[in-house]
Structure 1
Amino acid sequence: MKVLVVTNHLVPGQLDLWEEAALIDGIELHLAGAAPTRQLDPYITGERAESGLEHYLQPLPLRKGRDSTWWYFKGLRSKLRELRPDVLHVHCEAWGVPAIQSLAMASCPVVIHGADNQFYFGHGLERTVRDKLLGFTLHRAAAYVSWNAEGSRLALSCNPQLPTCVVPGIATPDPVSAGLSRRAEIPTVPQHDVSKLRLGFVGRDAPEKGLDVLINALTLVAPTTRHRLELVLAGANRQAGEIETLTGVSAKSLGEMPQPDALELIGTLDALIVPSVSTPRLREQYGRVAVEAMARSVPVIYSRSGALPEVVDYDKLAFDEGESSQLAAILERSAQDRSILIEAQAAVRNQYELHHSPRELARKLVDLWKSVANGG
């Protein structure tokens, strides 16, 4: 079966997904998008390097507008005639120009791949126009792939007959199959004091990331427990001394880090904290940092925000959005009884293997492609 994927930036996370799909027997995959790069990808396995997918890369010239939703793929019609794909997969908002262009030009089934946030964009007239476009595209698409279950639900509210499945637009490579150690040493990370529970926060210091929820939780932890905790931050520009003064918990702030170092840092943690909160404009649509931790068997203590509950699916370490007291209680229990996090290690790794590995995500995509190609 021949599949043409039309996307925007062919970033490493996307390439892992498409490359894994190309490794499945019977799939000939072609890619149209901005020039790919492997510079930031710390995992290039021999299997993928020999997959042959590079022979199928077909970037098309783009006329760039304000952002990738306004890109027009010049030459798409002729490329469709040349390739004659069985399925055209468009990784773009359903109201974006690439989706509309693909539906207008393709004679094969068109699968649209987006996320729940596309249903919330805009206000007033802009929102009205986008809603009209969603109705147009989702009634003409052969299927819809969403980053999360909420996106599938919203797509079905536009077209109840639309086949859907959940596959994020990026994949997290398996560090175990790549032969990477969970406890690799990083020069910028101080040596781990094994007598303390090493907690990590990896992300921007933005309201939706919930760092203040975590800091407030640490202030609520019993004084007799605080000396058992250590907090390491990466990406957030908070001063460690300020956090230590506020919370009484040992803290280290590493600032921005190259992606490979951040991934290795996650592997040194006893638990990753993902305290996301929803805002009027933003909600957690996937939580890739949580999946990065799960791939390394690192427990994730997370808020029930957006898609995080379905992504992590380990309620023993979950707390309600913004509820610092609930997070503090989890931290206290985990510090007093290490078996709580040890038990979680196998559970989160199993969740990754069953639902988030590139191979599993690619299999779901290929199953959907085969179904729509056969008229299902």
Structure 2
Amino acid sequence: LFTPSYWKSDIRMKIERADESEGEKGRIIYINPYFPGNGSLYFYEYRFKKELKDIKPEIIFIHEEPWSLSALQTVYFSSIFKPRILFYTNQNIYKRYPFPFNQIQKYMFSSAAEGVAVSMECETVLRRHGFNKNITLLPFAADTAVFCRKESNKLRGQMGLKGFIYGYIGRLTREKGLLTLLEASYILKNDKSINKEDFKILIVGDGYLKNEMNMFISKRGLEDIVIIHPSVPHNSVSEYLNCIDTFILPSMTTTRWKEQFGRVIIESLSCGVPVIGSDSGAIPELISDTGGGIIFPQGNAEVLSEKMSQIMNNHDLRFQVIEKGERSVRERYSIKAVAQQLYQILA
């Protein structure tokens, strides 16, 4: 496994190094990257070529977009020993890439034996770009040892959570549809058939939309039902998911972005938490495949409020989606299950 020795996000992060010695689980080789944190624009220092030449792998699985610089580098450096090449794509919006990326993608398409896509939308985009070889779907995985049912009464008490809890965990940005969630919460609060003491909205995250969300909450008088909590490390997300009775992912498609997969969906289901998701990107595909939730039209706060009321009040429906979703994740979306799928692809 080749991986960058460090990566950048908002702060410089050092990747925790594992033992680089060869063993039963293989070997991890850390290579210093140029332009770390720049997505598909990063590439490795020259030592990468020497390591590839020494190993001479028969199969190379490139977990990068086919137009990326690291994909180009990998294919070019390994061409001398002609391995079987596979690449992975998450791109679910068709884009015309400028030079030289359009030429990199063309070179990758001619060199690769097979493509691997995270969703059917990504497969469609690959076909539209002209890739005519075999494409296999391979989803993201959830760590079911971490994302599982846990005791949550203490944390719920610390945050003042009582009653039925709807939740969202992630970035506070416009495309995540959080204003739709707040509008739906306002509609639900003013539904005379529902006691506003019966539910709360927990939003965990940070982002540029936070100030606008707080203004909306104040203007609509939602302070008594909406709690915005700062973002938490990923290794703590499961604790907060277990405080939630239903997770809501109200993403909104834009010209430049739509939900590529929705990993938080399978993480929620793995914790026994059903999902209400919009019809943006891969969300309906994933919810339909797992049976673990309900879909609503993106941006439609009225319908979202109806779905929120439905899953809170219909206990049979709630039990069914929890059971289906949790079972589906453990059978098809656990690390072990996805690793077995990848093994079959590479075999």
TM-score of the two chains, using structure 1 as the length reference: 0.76
Report the 3-state secondary structure (helix = DSSP H, G, I; strand = E; otherwise coil) of the residue aligned with 1:284.
coil
Q: Deviations over 1:217-243 (max 9, x none)?
A: 122221331522211111043449936
Q: Does 1:174 align with 2:144?
A: yes
AA at the equivalent of 1:183: S
Q: d(CA) in 2 for partners of 1:329 and 1:297?
A: 22
Q: d(CA) in 2 for partners of 1:241 and 1:279?
A: 22
User: Shift of residue 182 of structure 1?
Assistant: 5.3
Q: Does 1:37 align with 2:16?
A: yes
Provide structure 1 residue ranges, at least 5 long, that are not aligned to the other structure: 12-33, 40-50, 371-376
AA at the equivalent of 1:280: T
Q: Does 1:260 align with 2:235?
A: yes
For these two proteins, the number of residue pairs brought into alignment is 324
Report the 3-state secondary structure (helix = DSSP H, G, I; strand = E; otherwise coil) of the residue aligned with 2:105.
helix
Aligned to 1:183: 152
Aligned to 1:354: 331
Identify which of 268, 279, 296 aligns with 2:254.
279
Do the aligned partners of residues 338 and 219 (structure 1) sit closer, same or farther apart at CA in structure 2, a change above 3 Å counting? same
Identify which of 53, 59, 64 aligns with 1:81.
53
TM-score of the two chains, using structure 2 as the length reference: 0.82
AA at the equivalent of 2:59: V
Percent identity reads 18
Q: d(CA) in 1 for partners of 2:202 and 2:159?
A: 10
Identify which of 110, 119, 128 aligns with 1:157.
128
Asked whether the 8 Å contact 2:238–2:271 carries over to 1, the reply is no
Aligned to 1:142: 113
Q: Does 1:59 align with 2:30?
A: yes
Do the aligned partners of residues 356 and 365 (structure 1) sit closer, same or farther apart at CA in structure 2, a change above 3 Å counting? same
Provide structure 2 residue ranges, at least 5 long, that are not aligned to the other structure: 8-12
Q: Does 1:233 align with 2:195?
A: no
Do the aligned partners of residues 75 and 316 (structure 1) sit closer, same or farther apart at CA in structure 2, a change above 3 Å counting? closer
Aligned to 2:283: 308
Asked whether the 8 Å contact 1:119–1:131 carries over to 2, the reply is no
AA at the equivalent of 1:274: L
Aligned to 1:343: 320
User: Shift of residue 355 of structure 1?
Assistant: 2.9
Report the 3-state secondary structure (helix = DSSP H, G, I; strand = E; otherwise coil) of the residue aligned with 1:260.
helix
Identify which of 75, 98, 104 aligns with 1:103.
75
Do the aligned partners of residues 79 and 108 (structure 1) sit closer, same or farther apart at CA in structure 2, a change above 3 Å counting? same
User: Shift of residue 35 of structure 1?
Assistant: 6.3
User: Shift of residue 146 of structure 1?
Assistant: 1.7
Asked whether the 8 Å contact 1:144–1:162 carries over to 2, the reply is yes
Report the 3-state secondary structure (helix = DSSP H, G, I; strand = E; otherwise coil) of the residue aligned with 1:265.
helix
Cα-Cα RMSD: 3.1
User: Shift of residue 354 of structure 1?
Assistant: 3.1
Q: d(CA) in 2 for partners of 1:88 and 1:234?
A: 38
User: Shift of residue 199 of structure 1?
Assistant: 0.5
Do the aligned partners of residues 138 and 189 (structure 1) sit closer, same or farther apart at CA in structure 2, a change above 3 Å counting? farther
Q: d(CA) in 2 for partners of 1:277 and 1:259?
A: 23
